[in-house]
A and B are shown apart, each in its own frame.
Chain A
Amino acid sequence: MFPIQIRDLRFSPNGRAVLDGIDLELGSEGITLVLGPNGAGKSMLLRVLCGLVAPTGGTIAWGEGARPERGVMMVFQHPMLLRTSVLDNVALGLKPLGVPAAERQRRARAVLERIGLAHRASENAPRLSGGERQRLALARAWLTRPRLLLLDEPTASLDPSAAAEVERIIREIRTDGTRILMVTHNLGQATRLGDDIVFLADGKVCEHTPTQRFFTRPQSTQARLFIQGELPWRMAF
């Protein structure tokens, strides 16, 4: 599956280039943070990678073989919560894998322990707070042991303590051997979590460098302006 080599990836619905020739290579380990202004194509890149959207051009090479049928998961900014218990919501991730119901529940309980939600296993999921919802979504994805986990702003609109807990879980998932590609707007979070940074602007990769170097010596003007908070906010029309 690794390295994932993205070459000249394009997505242009109705003639507007959302992804405009992305070139990127992802190794098998670590956390890569995707930064960029609104409308840069960050979320679309994740959607293309997990197969939700077919690119209009370019190639994605998944290591030696074809795109894996399983092993790529994505957690959304507003995760789906079914009107059932927390445990059942987490166990849901294993349903398509054909895991028997009892085993699904056992594994879901184990992962709930690791994310600190075991005490709420039998409660109704829609009653969870924003931070707990994201932890549940991460647990659901983690349960399937993905090789690549795509996270689309998982801590957006969370308070600092909830965001810190989500970050702890993300680190633990990484330690467990999952490659993570995460979109964020939070530069502090990028410095805490990211091994490397991919900076997107106008659907292109402007920069792909180790985190420390990105923040101390950004190579592109757009990245420098973005870090300084001076990159003009662009309407995504």
Chain B
Amino acid sequence: MFTSTFADALTLLATFDARVAEIVWLSLKVSGGAVVLGTLIGLPLGACLAVGRFPGKGAASVLVNGLMGLPSVVVGVVVYLFLSRSGPFGSAGLLYTPTAMIIAQTLLVIPLMAAIARQVVEDVWQRYAEELQVMRFSWWQSVTTLLHDCRHSLVVAVLAGLGRAMSEVGAVMIVGGNIDGATRVMTTAIALETSKGDLPLAIALGLVLILIILALNALAFALRQWAMRRYA
């Protein structure tokens, strides 16, 4: 049973099963979209928290750190409420679409990416602050300069966001609905197929998921090694 299930899963992958490919492609689109948005919002937000001096900065940092562990089902329910027909954005008709899934995953990854970015940028800011102040860098110029300088370290934040987005199941299940051919992604498909007893498909998708995460981590490792050699 065990070996035959694995053999069937490998057959699905080797034959480029259309169902598997469709689910993987949608997963990459949804999680990739969420990570792009999360990068555009989360990294500057983290850098602003590191560089900025404003009342409540400590509380804001604690809040961002706390939201790192936000349960995905909670995010799913909140986004559901906003996008449902009676919610404030119900008229947009986004519920049970990949866009809704991207929104939910973006909200999940922003705190994680912001918290990592804040830590990375803050370490560099402590060393550069005086010189940037002497050069009369504005607050925003400091943020952009530090984000660029920390770009190789911030890959970790992006990867962490991608890992969080690709592996979560609760939020996308609630706002996407796990509709076959429309909103079914790897994690929701794995959960569904396992409950149905179609283990080969679940395992095939699980292997793809693990391979993607490993490949991205290998890429990040190579990038950091390259950066360390290049910038001494």
A contact residues vs B (CB 8 Å cutoff): 47, 50-52, 69-70, 72-74, 76, 79-80, 82-84, 92-93, 95-96, 124, 126-127, 140, 144
Please state if A76 and B231 are interface contacts (CB–CB under 8 Å).
no
B24 to chain A, nearest CB (A): 35
Please state if A76 and B131 are interface contacts (CB–CB under 8 Å).
yes
Chain B 217-232, CB-CB to A under 8 Å as 1, else 0, gives: 0000000000100111
B contact residues vs A (CB 8 Å cutoff): 127-128, 130-138, 141, 145, 148-149, 152, 227, 230-232
On whether A79 and B136 interact (CB within 8 A), knowing A92-B145, A127-B231, the answer reads no
Residues of A within 8 A of B148 (CB): 82, 84
A153 to chain B, nearest CB (A): 15
Please state if A70 and B134 are interface contacts (CB–CB under 8 Å).
no
Please state if A124 and B232 are interface contacts (CB–CB under 8 Å).
yes
Please state if B232 and A82 are interface contacts (CB–CB under 8 Å).
no
Residues of B within 8 A of A127 (CB): 231-232
- State in angstroms the CA–CA spacing of A72 and B134 once bound together: 8
Please state if B132 and A83 are interface contacts (CB–CB under 8 Å).
no
- State in angstroms the CA–CA spacing of A228 and B59 once bound together: 55
A221 to chain B, nearest CB (A): 34
- State in angstroms the CA–CA spacing of A27 and B66 once bound together: 55
Other A-B contacts than A51-B134, A80-B131, A92-B135, 19 sampled, CB-CB below 8 A, are A47-B130, A52-B130, A70-B136, A72-B134, A73-B134, A74-B134, A79-B131, A80-B132, A82-B145, A83-B149, A83-B152, A84-B148, A84-B149, A93-B135, A95-B145, A96-B137, A126-B231, A126-B232, A127-B232
On whether A50 and B134 interact (CB within 8 A), knowing A83-B149, A92-B145, A96-B141, the answer reads yes
Please state if B149 and A82 are interface contacts (CB–CB under 8 Å).
yes
11 interchain pairs, CB-CB under 8 A: A52-B130, A52-B134, A73-B134, A80-B127, A80-B132, A82-B148, A84-B148, A84-B149, A96-B135, A126-B232, A144-B135
Please state if B130 and A124 are interface contacts (CB–CB under 8 Å).
no
- State in angstroms the CA–CA spacing of A52 and B129 once bound together: 10
Residues of A within 8 A of B132 (CB): 80
Residues of B within 8 A of A69 (CB): 136
Residues of A within 8 A of B137 (CB): 95-96
- State in angstroms the CA–CA spacing of A32 and B134 once bound together: 20
Most buried by A among B131, B137, B138: B131
- State in angstroms the CA–CA spacing of A83 and B224 once bound together: 13
- State in angstroms the CA–CA spacing of A208 and B127 once bound together: 33
Residues of B within 8 A of A79 (CB): 131
- State in angstroms the CA–CA spacing of A74 and B130 once bound together: 10
On whether A124 and B231 interact (CB within 8 A), knowing A83-B149, A96-B141, the answer reads yes
- State in angstroms the CA–CA spacing of A144 and B135 once bound together: 9
Residues of A within 8 A of B231 (CB): 83, 124, 126-127
Closest to B136 in A: A96
- State in angstroms the CA–CA spacing of A84 and B136 once bound together: 20
- State in angstroms the CA–CA spacing of A76 and B134 once bound together: 10
Residues of A within 8 A of B127 (CB): 80
Closest to A93 in B: B135
- State in angstroms the CA–CA spacing of A79 and B136 once bound together: 16
Most buried by B among A50, A80, A96, A124: A80
Closest to A97 in B: B136
- State in angstroms the CA–CA spacing of A124 and B136 once bound together: 24
B140 to chain A, nearest CB (A): 11
Most buried by B among A73, A76, A83, A84: A83
B224 to chain A, nearest CB (A): 12
Residues of B within 8 A of A70 (CB): 136
Closest to A125 in B: B231
On whether A52 and B133 interact (CB within 8 A), knowing A80-B127, A80-B128, A127-B231, the answer reads yes
Residues of B within 8 A of A95 (CB): 135, 137, 141, 145
Closest to B146 in A: A82
- State in angstroms the CA–CA spacing of A96 and B134 once bound together: 11
Residues of A within 8 A of B130 (CB): 47, 52, 76
Most buried by B among A47, A52, A144: A52
Closest to A140 in B: B135
- State in angstroms the CA–CA spacing of A79 and B130 once bound together: 10
A135 to chain B, nearest CB (A): 16
A2 to chain B, nearest CB (A): 19
